[in-house]
Amino acid sequence: MQKIRVDQPPPYLPERFKHLDTDQEIDPRFRFKFNNNNVKKFRVKFTGAIDLLGPHYLGTIGTFLNGWRWSESEILNEEELLAVRTSYYRLDHDENQPFKVITVIHSNGKISIFFDEIPQDLGKYKIESIIEGATVCRRGGKKYKKTFKINVPEKWIKPGTLVEYE
């Protein structure tokens, strides 16, 4: 189920975030299921995307911006949640116009994406915020992969929007 709420304050999170320089694999500090599979590792990418890994690749949570090549991410790995706070900058490295997103994976199974700071004029830049997944199935001795993708409609990607998935 997807819930979208506007004009929300940012989620309260302790200020113990750690800067992320490169992709990092993290063991969950809580049990988490995605698409009926246990997540054994989170691969947090320096771009802010989070890969969910179990017995195989399970899926990705991420916000992607066409033309925004420079990003900075921070992670917070707690007993009850994993949070990734990412600031994206335009190709010209304009630090005055960041695009900021906070993604939180909660121990209760909820996934939250909060759009914090969004420049008003995005111009030609396309934004995609998704949760996508893959299920590996066996049928008649053959293995195949079934995928799904949930998009946040672009019209809702604005400051103060909170998107929750359960």
The tens digit of pLDDT for each residue in 19-36 reads 998 999 999 999 999 888
Residue 95: pLDDT over 60: no
Identify the residue with better confidence: 32 or 68. Answer: 32
29 assigned to some structural domain: yes
16 assigned to some structural domain: no
Name the domain count of the chain. 1
18 assigned to some structural domain: no
Look at phi and psi of residue 113 and say left if phi exceeds 0, alpha if psi is from -120 to 50, else beta.
Answer: beta
For 37, the domain range is 2-10+23-165
Please tell me the pTM assigned to this model.
0.85
Residue 1: pLDDT over 80: no
Confidence at 46, pLDDT banded by 50, 70, 90: confident
15 assigned to some structural domain: no
17 assigned to some structural domain: no
pLDDT at 40: 95
153 assigned to some structural domain: yes
46 assigned to some structural domain: yes
67 assigned to some structural domain: yes
